Amino acid sequence: MDSDGRYEQRVVWAVVDTGIGPLLLAATREGLVNVVFHATDEVRDKALERLASRLGSEPVEDPGSPLLAEATSQFEDYFAGERRSFELPLDWSLISGFNREVLRELATTVPFGTVVGYGDLAGRVGQPGAAQAVGMAMGANPLPVIVPCHRVVESSGGIGGFGGGLETKRRLLALEGVLPEPLF
């Protein structure tokens, strides 16, 4: 408890090496709360500062915590082609409103190896014509890969944008069999 008698939010984190580079994984007691691409020291430090500010607790490195150990194992299986979905508790506290609604819809209705258009996803949450807002929700996704924003593409056939970079999106889609493997 803190000095005001409230329970402090415990935030633990670890960096995991993956087929798309290092990922920062962060978790609370509720579940995995954040996945950050390209977790170099600088990116990691900025992400941890943001988490501390948003969650009110200084994140502690603890790769051996049960939730992070399980998340690491599931990420390893996913990148080895042995896992098609993640089975982890999630903490949705970093996202709310329309963005949360869209991300939850994405997480529950767009399985491994499939894609959905921005406009189609907007229609699924009762907001046809809100394709741009869906794009903004994808950019605000605190749990990429697990909440598979890489599976959201343009209706014209383009792959659209991606917070982790277009090469990362291509690699994730290739891993899932949606795109061919890069030649080099």
- Among residues 24, 51, 143, 149, the one annotated as catalytic is 149
Cα 163 to Cα 160: distance, rounded to the nearest angstrom: 10
Residue type, 49: E
Say whether 149 is catalytic.
yes
Residues whose CB is less than 8 angstroms from the CB of residue 14 and which lie 6 or more positions away in sequence, other chains included: 24, 25, 61, 62, 63, 65, 68, 72
Q: What are phi and psi of 125, to 5 degrees?
A: -100, 20
Contact yes or no for 5/21 (Cβ under 8 A):
no
Residue type, 96: S
Half-sphere exposure of 69 (CA within 13 A, CB side): 4
Place of tokens 């921005």: 118
Active site residues: 149
